[in-house]
Structure 1
């Protein structure tokens, strides 16, 4: 769901333009900047030096870039093969994976926008999307949050060991594998009261459906929580890590009815503060949660 922008290093070769550009982006805003090429941050600094900026301003820009690295810059493996940045980013294979390109001057396609006169609408309405309720679409919408960390957390009272749920998790892990970002750990919080079957039966079913990922070394923990404390926490379903989070209004379930899979649901970028709050509660203060039982795969 996140829109990916490329920014020409020469377009942000000073503090004012760099700050203006970077403040438009972030996981919580649904907007990310691709590190294109992987040395993009270094290219920005070189452009600033060519501009003749002083040491104080260069230091400030370097710190701003470092701070942005974790919450708005991503790598997506785009080929850099032209004689220049502009030539490389103009390649069809690159442009097909980018929502927009911010440049200093040269406009070579309708995806290019001059940084000085880019319309604010270009950055609006990126926090929320509607996606089909099939496993692939649900997983794909979370691609950049899933691959932002070495672990992620799902909170969904209705998540169960049944195939309709584990198929969505399988889709998410495949997205991670395809992007060379298989997580070390996945933690799931669900409502114990929603499934009356024995712990042994539930664990066996999880193992059957997720065996391929367990054998790959992904540690999967399912915490089944007492329902009397979930009314406040489980109004919606969440996917998050220590960097970002998404709210899935209909949860992590692929309907068994094929027609219902064509129906759409909302996926929304969570504010950074709320994402941090969830992470603190469910991970950093997990001992305060009344967990009925815990399944470790």
Structure 2
């Protein structure tokens, strides 16, 4: 194999994929003195009333409720909320371990977040340092440093644009010229066949489908601790199984990132496959040059 390392990118949803539940539910929503269910219900009703994007709605409601309760909404406050987020088993030790495994296959792993949650919260987590990009919704701030307007909204359909940013090596959300520029396949930083997307539900369907259509791999993960459904809803595992059956994802696994668990094994096999395909291509090219 060539001495030049091949880049493989893993793109993760956040809520329900790396951490149970919604990131706002750990500290922020309790601080504004409202039940989790009531917050999301109010957000949904507000979105319906104004024919509004659901992510924009929850971001607006956060600002409204924080103001009502005299809660500071500076960037550092939001970052601090991220410190309380608890992860699925094995997450915190996963990145260094899988990077080392990939390196033995001459592969450089990149990790990216693509989430409808808040980038400020993600930046405050213990795992933020592992991500090349945190593509997530976020606020802009006024002269006093208070959140005043959405800077970026990531919803389930526009998640796909960030896959193309990863593909082309665009490490920001604002450059709309390069994202639309035609780039020869051999010049793209991360070919789609080297992109792995990990998500947990129906809001990940467009991103999963896009990755699969372009030759990459999609993995559906579920909370292994939720065994029963509520109000006749599907369990997390049933949702993920449906993604496989409907050709949205390639594999499903419990959201346990520990060594030798199903997800860890699947990811290593995918890395092995990419490595083997590169070796085969290099062998083919060497034979053709004889």
Question: What is the TM-score of this pair, normalised by structure 2?
Answer: 0.30
Q: Specify the structure having the higher radius of gyration (Cα).
A: 1
Question: What is the TM-score of this pair, normalised by structure 1?
Answer: 0.30
Structure with bigger helix share is 2
